[in-house]
Amino acid sequence: AKKHFTMGKKSKRSRGQSQTGATTAPSLRSEVVEEETSDNLQFEDPYVDEYEEEDSEGGDDELGSELVQNQTLNPYHATKEPLEMDPSAYKMHFALRGEWPSLSFDFVRDSWGDGRTRFPHKLLAVVGTQADTPENNSVQIWKLSDLGKINKDEDEEDQDYDKPDDSDDSDDDEIDFDPILEHATVQHSGGVNRIRNHKGIVASWSDRGAVNVYSMDVEGLCMENMKPPSLINTYTGHPTEGYAIDFSSTEGRLATGDNEGNIHVFVEDFSKAEPMYTSKKSVEDIQWSPTETTVLAAGEVDGLVKIYDTRAPNRSMLEKKVGSTDVNALSWSKLVTNLMASGCDDGNWSVWDLRKFEEPLARFTCHTTPITSIEWHPTDESMMVVSDEVGSFVYDLSVEEEEGHEREDLPPQLLFVHSGSPQTKEVHWHPQITSCLMSTAYDGFHSFIPSNL
């Protein structure tokens, strides 16, 4: 973003010290006026060039005050000044503030189809709260509908060159919709550190040290039947609270990690969990392999990423120090399954090839606050979203740096920035709405689709 402070400009076209208002150009002057004859026709130029002379006493010393002064904001740095949203940067944008802030949420896969692009959109999500007292917390199921396309000025619509002539967009895209929120709530003991779901099962980490497992009727939610989730089990086998939690996408197994380095894996019916590993270092995030049913990765506070196999308890199969600070977030690509991304507390994030777990394929050091979440795009193998305390950032790793890059402080892979929300904690891609994102921060939720995706 740029701020323009424009000051008055003075003409610098002085040609001499003459005080006359205007003079005739030398090339048009004639010392002798010849008589006009049929052989010597004379024409008068109606567009005689004139040179205006102005007094420029200040000279070049005033150039600094005559130029436009720009203040360029770095999106990786927090600013105390309020930011104004540019509607042209979004296809869709909605802000929602609940009764209490939320550290974590997760999209729910629905039966409304994949690859959705037609407006208005609707989506399902599970949300956990951080209330003032433990008893006021809850796990909520949200159904957001009538999420319409953002309004643009007529001039902007006329310049929508990217829209094909035979676009299938219906008239509904241009209608103003009032978004609708429906929700179902169940009380949760303690604040929700993190929440995840898989095929109708919801699991939440409580700041009281328990893992709660619920069931929800996804088909009923899609059919206008908003029922709160039902508690299956409250697991209290961890010695302390934690944040790491993930479902396996292959078999639906649940793994959790706590702040003392313990990783527990639940049985199929979630009635109990078995302690599998103890590293004595806080486990910050867990990611199951998208293809191997027994393999998972864990990010720890000492900068280590460890790969485990449930068939070999109490030891890691592979480990790599990916940074000098805590590994806050991991994301295992479901499209290119040998790629994993890690985000650390010092603001650095990297992409790793697990076949050569030595040097990162890419490392970004531009963030100035801790990485809070990281996630690969569900359908684009080179795109990902990263959040830190300042905002959410979309990257395209297929973009190569070229000579003459305009901003040296911004990587060329950066495609989009959504900022202005304090303490962004999580951002996720919707698995079925094309390039739809939602983030949670201290001031609430933002659901949006960037205009350049």
Structure token pair of residue 191: 């604040």
CB atoms within 10 A of CB 54: 10
At residue 74, does pLDDT exceed 80?
A: yes
CB atoms within 10 A of CB 219: 11
Could you give the CA distance from residue 281 to residue 278 in angstroms, rounded to a whole number? 8
Confidence of residue 370 (pLDDT cuts 50, 70, 90): very high
pTM score:
0.81
Phi and psi at residue 347, to the nearest 5°: 90, -5
At residue 14, does pLDDT exceed 50?
A: no
Structure token pair of residue 195: 């929440």
What is the distance in angstroms between the CA of the first residue and the CA of the last residue of the chain? 20
Structure token pair of residue 52: 């205006």
Distances (CA, A) of 263 to 284, 285, 318: 11, 10, 16
Rg (CA), the chain: 31
Q: Please state the rounded mean pLDDT for residues 238-253.
A: 96
Structure token pair of residue 64: 């600094």
Confidence of residue 224 (pLDDT cuts 50, 70, 90): confident
pLDDT averaged over every residue in the chain:
85
pLDDT of residue 8: 32
More confident residue, 191 or 9: 191
Could you give the CA distance from residue 250 to residue 72 in angstroms, rounded to a whole number? 47
Could you give the CA distance from residue 137 to residue 232 in angstroms, rounded to a whole number? 18
pLDDT of residue 9: 35
At residue 1, does pLDDT exceed 50?
A: no
Would you say the C-alpha torsion 408, 401, 451, 434 has a positive or negative sign? negative
Phi and psi at residue 172, to the nearest 5°: -60, -25
For 340-363, how does the pLDDT look when each residue is reduced to its tens digit (9 = 90+)? Answer: 999 999 999 999 999 999 999 999
At residue 167, does pLDDT exceed 60?
A: no
Q: Cis omega (within 30 of 0) on the bond before 120?
A: yes
Phi and psi at residue 213, to the nearest 5°: -120, 130
At residue 208, does pLDDT exceed 70?
A: yes
- Spell 228-259 as b/e; 16+ CB within 10 A means b: bbeebbebebbeebbbbbbbbbeebbbbbbbb
Q: Please state the rounded mean pLDDT for residues 238-252.
A: 97
pLDDT of residue 285: 98
At residue 296, does pLDDT exceed 90?
A: yes
For 381-413, how does the pLDDT look when each residue is reduced to its tens digit (9 = 90+)? Answer: 999 999 999 999 999 999 987 776 677 789 999
pLDDT of residue 53: 53
At residue 211, does pLDDT exceed 50?
A: yes
